[in-house]
Structure 1
Amino acid sequence: MAKFRSALLAACLVVGTPLVTTACTSMPDEVSRQDIDAQSRQALNKLTSENSAARAIAAKSSAVLIFPSIVKAGLGVGGAYGEGQMRHNGAVRDYYSTFTGSWGLQAGAQQYGYAVFLMNDAAVKYVEDSDGWEIGVGPTVVLVNAGVAENLSTSTLKEDAYAFIFDQKGLMAGVSIEGTKITKLDAK
């Protein structure tokens, strides 16, 4: 099964056709679901223990979308794909995939994770009810980097969502989540 999922991921990244993208949004099997649960929990715990801004935002958030491992590759045309979950009050609410396509001057591959803290029930409902949420459309998302984190306090949290990118590894410069599509995985 792992070889199949790897081949499917590679096809999603290289080809990116609607047919392959649809295949990538099927509900993970039981073993994969357990892997996503364990990896998401570990990534979220590490992020909030090492980053005080993430810890403060997590304490005030309504829910979090956590994608512990996203693979990004490109040579002119590229893409990034990963699977994760929405957690609410410490429990898994649903499973999601994240996909970003890109083109332009790029070559290389990298792996990273990201978390999007949803700060209010309206943002959570929007994500749950949408047929795929494209970051940059809908709830306002602030990408928290070192500069933004210095100026955040629990009294200045006014946006719908705050995103953190973590554990970047590989040979590609920069990561952006603008234009990323987050889609609920189909339950079968």
Structure 2
Amino acid sequence: MTRMNRRTFAMTALAGASVTAACGNGIGGNGAATIDARVSQTLNHMYSKFPNTVDLEAKSAGMLVMPLVTEAGLGVGGAFGRGALLVDGVTVDYYSNARANFGLQIGAQQYAHVLFFMTQDALYNFRRSSGWAAGADLEYVVSDRGDSLAAETTTLTAPVLAVVFGRAGLRIGATLEGTKYTRIIP
């Protein structure tokens, strides 16, 4: 191995180990009861911190709640989390979220996010796909900056809205990434 290849291997291994070991994010033996409890806590926190999300929930066809996503990287990185899809307030499926990224980055963070499916078609397409990648039809409406949800009327017509909150940790950089949601059996 050349010196550059060893360095690349070491950075990739460090990033992978960080994601795997970086807290209780659902890697390993978490069952449905654990995921359901985390989903409930996450929703209670979101509704209290961002009260306007109650209206989003009422208007949505369903929502995917990812209570804890852990992300880490050093050049090459990734993220992982588990959550539940709720329709009319009832859990109908469980999903994992996996992300790989590369670029100028260093650090680790954890956060929660909720995807609101604002149309029946968006929910149907999500549930019928073998793995759904977040893309152009996803609109972010809030992060931890600010005290209230700020969504414009054009945002509310998007088929899928994402609320990201509860960030902890430090991650700096610009990356190219893709996120995939896959149905799981906990």
TM-score tier after normalising by the smaller chain length: 0.7 to 0.9
Q: How far is the alpha carbon of 1:179 from its aligned partner?
A: 2.5
Aligned partner of 2:3 in structure 1 is none
Aligned partner of 1:112 in structure 2 is 111
Aligned partner of 2:4 in structure 1 is none
Structure with the largest fraction of strand: 2
- State the one-letter code of the partner of 1:150: A
Structure 1 residues 82-129: Cα deviation after superposition (integer angstroms, max 9, x where no partner): 000101111101000001111111111111110000111111111110
Aligned partner of 2:162 in structure 1 is 163
- State the one-letter code of the partner of 2:167: Q
Q: How far is the alpha carbon of 1:58 from its aligned partner?
A: 1.1
- Listed as ranges, the matches of 1:172-183 within 5 Å are 172-173=171-172, 179-183=178-182
Distance 1:47-1:174 versus aligned 2 partners, 3 A rule: farther
Secondary structure, counterpart of 2:84 in structure 1: strand
Q: Between Structure 1 and Structure 2, whose CA radius of gyration is higher?
A: 2
**Aligned structure 1 segments of 4 or more residues deviating by more than 4 angstroms:** 174-178
| 1:141 and 2:143 aligned | no
Q: How far is the alpha carbon of 1:76 from its aligned partner?
A: 0.7
Unaligned runs of at least 5 residues, structure 1: 1-10, 16-27
> Does the 8 Å CA contact 1:63/1:87 hold for their aligned counterparts?
yes
CA distance in 2, matches of 1:136, 1:61: 19
CA distance in 1, matches of 2:97, 2:74: 20
Aligned partner of 1:14 in structure 2 is 16
- State the one-letter code of the partner of 1:179: G
Secondary structure, counterpart of 1:102 in structure 2: strand
Secondary structure, counterpart of 1:150 in structure 2: coil
- State the one-letter code of the partner of 2:139: V
- Listed as ranges, the matches of 1:31-46 within 5 Å are 32-46=31-45
> Does the 8 Å CA contact 1:40/1:85 hold for their aligned counterparts?
yes
Distance 1:131-1:63 versus aligned 2 partners, 3 A rule: same
CA distance in 2, matches of 1:84, 1:177: 24
RMSD: 3.0
Q: Which moved more, 1:77-86 or 1:32-41?
A: 32-41
> Does the 8 Å CA contact 2:141/2:150 hold for their aligned counterparts?
no
- State the one-letter code of the partner of 1:163: A
| 1:72 and 2:71 aligned | yes
Q: Which moved more, 1:50-59 or 1:109-118?
A: 50-59
Distance 1:156-1:70 versus aligned 2 partners, 3 A rule: closer
Structure 1 residues 9-50: Cα deviation after superposition (integer angstroms, max 9, x where no partner): xx9x618xxxxxxxxxxxx86x52111000011101211222
Q: Matched residues, percent identical?
A: 36
Structure 1 residues 56-84: Cα deviation after superposition (integer angstroms, max 9, x where no partner): 21111110000000110111100000000
Aligned partner of 2:23 in structure 1 is none
Unaligned runs of at least 5 residues, structure 2: 1-12, 18-27
Distance 1:76-1:178 versus aligned 2 partners, 3 A rule: closer
Q: TM-score, normalised by structure 2?
A: 0.76
Secondary structure, counterpart of 1:44 in structure 2: helix
